[in-house]
A and B are shown apart, each in its own frame.
Chain A
Amino acid sequence: MTTIRFENVWKEYDERVVLEQVNLSLADHEFLVIIGPSGVGKTTLLRMLLSQEQPTRGRILLDGEPIATEPTADRGVVFQRYSVFPHRTVLGNVMMGPQWAGAPLLGRFFGARRRALEERAMALLTRVGLGEHAHKYPAQLSGGMQQRLALAQALIMKPKVLLLDEPFGALDPGTRKSMHELVGELWEENRMTIVMVTHDLPEAFLLGTRVIAVDRRRNDPQAPERFGATIVSDFEAKCRSVRESRAFEAEREKVRLALLAGTSPAVGAPAVPAFETALVKD
């Protein structure tokens, strides 16, 4: 269960108000998409959630607790560019997080521990479609593949929230489409919360379960810096009850087909296995 709350958050740079009175509360397993014109503070909002920047006023709560004042492992991120490490292979990139967590001094695993992690990382890479590129360097990958890698790298840490800052902005339309599918599936499989910033409206409504628009509500032509942007519209793109009933129907259909085929489904199996099956089993 992951919930996010923005409580009256303001962001000001000196005299310039960027964001004002941002109030938001996000339930578990939502795909929140933030849209709005460029330069209005969408990314600032995301950066505050990442603790890359601190709110001037107000606070941000993750599961009821104020978030740490620096980026931590509970919030994963994929940027538009530069979010993979050029000096490590694809496999090495995915293995970095767990190795840092488990080996404070060397940042490296050895022996059986390393092999177990390699196996886990390979499973994840295969899932995002990079299995055969595991030993290449990021510079040898296309833009779309680099973003897949960045996703895998963030997901192996099992963050509560995954933050995406225009992750598909630099990709061509075909690649973008396949990335949409991948992110949608990963969101379902891992049952996590995703917050994404984009300026592509179709993308926002395709992926998001909730879409918020950020813009200036008031504007003073003499002093444009006087008023900041805030959430001007909040749209539930995919109604939770509809989502859940659809998932339930799909599950019931699966069980019905299994019964028809004569194989009895495992008794006592989770009611909604598709949701409970974590992406990486450990």
Chain B
Amino acid sequence: MRRIINYAPRPGVRLILALLPFVAVLAIYILASNARLAVEPADKLMPSFASFWTTMVRMATTIDRATSQYLLWWDTWLSLQRLFLGLGISALLGLVLGIIVGFVPYLRATFEPFFAAFSLIPPLAVLPILFILFGLGEASKIVLIVFGIAPFIIRDVMLRVSAIPAEQIIKAQTLGASTWQMIVGVVLPQVMPRLIDSVRLSLGAAWLFVIAAEAITSEGGLGYRIFLVRRYLAMDVILPYVIWITLLAFLMDYALRRLAVAAYPWDQIKAT
């Protein structure tokens, strides 16, 4: 009998094991749902998969009377727009501020403690301030996302900048590089893979802020819809929406990972 850490599954077994929890959760849901529906056919808490399907088909293919839009696609479009704008602005801010502040000692001494303090402010606590300042429209939602994740990205980029070996920076200077040339030619390319990673890590938080902002005030969006239909206990909308959001988040994460591999092949090579 070897130690348990020395047993590793074969690839085929690994796949089956990976699928097992998903299948188990699904099976438990179906069993419980069937049991509840057998007692009360109009049960709202655990609808059957058939009713998920019909609800989603209705939301994706029929025009809603109130908004005159296909609700699923309309909600997805609104949420993704907010998410991409928020993430994009945060990534840009993180890249520019992170590199400049991380690379220039005077700026670093001035702003690093400020950013550190700033990143500790709970974004949801200042949401009312954002609503007062920017109104209840799109601006306050996007500012919330930026407020929530930009400080993290800035600090992460700054750490990466300071992790570049001093030897490289000295070497660049002996090759005649100016500060601008070092930023563009040495620091920026080495920070980009890390930026993609930190955007990936921020995806969860960004979704959180999108949904929180939509829950409070909005005319549409995935989070708005979930909180709207909650009043009718419409689990046949909420659960598929949650799965849809999860799928979108997964796809974005996957796309960013592929982007990092394709754009920065040197970062994938492990030193031998």
Q: Which residues of A contact B (CB under 8 A)?
A: 50, 52, 70-73, 75-77, 79, 81-88, 96-97, 100-101, 104-107, 137, 139-140, 142, 150, 153-154, 157, 159
Contacts and interface: CB of A to CB of B under 8 A. Distances in A.
Contacts of B181: 100, 104, 107
B173 A71 contact: yes
Nearest to B175: A97
21 contacts: A50-B170, A72-B176, A73-B174, A79-B170, A81-B165, A85-B172, A86-B190, A87-B190, A87-B264, A88-B266, A96-B177, A96-B185, A100-B172, A100-B176, A100-B177, A105-B180, A137-B265, A137-B269, A139-B271, A139-B272, A157-B175
Contacts of B265: 137
A72 to B, nearest CB: 7
B186 interface: yes
A123 to B, nearest CB: 18
B168 interface: yes
Contacts of A76: 174-175
A87 B189 contact: yes
A106 B172 CA distance: 15
A52 B170 contact: yes
Contacts, number: 86
A139 B170 contact: no
Given A77-B174, A83-B167, 11 more contacts: A72-B176, A82-B165, A84-B171, A85-B172, A100-B185, A104-B181, A137-B266, A137-B269, A139-B270, A154-B175, A157-B175
Given A73-B176, A82-B165, A107 B171 contact: no
B168 A85 contact: yes
B167 A82 contact: yes
Contact of A50 (B174, B264, B269, B270): B174
Contacts of B180: 104-105
**Interface extent on B, as a size class?**
20 to 34
Interface of B: 165, 167-168, 170-178, 180-181, 184-186, 189-190, 264-267, 269-272
B167 A81 contact: yes
Nearest to A146: B271
Contacts of A81: 165, 167
B190 A79 contact: no
A95 B159 CA distance: 28
Interface hub of B175, B190, B266, B269 (most chain A Cβ within 10 A): B175
A97 B176 contact: yes
Contact of B167 (A79, A88, A100, A157): A79
Nearest to A96: B175
Contacts of B267: 87
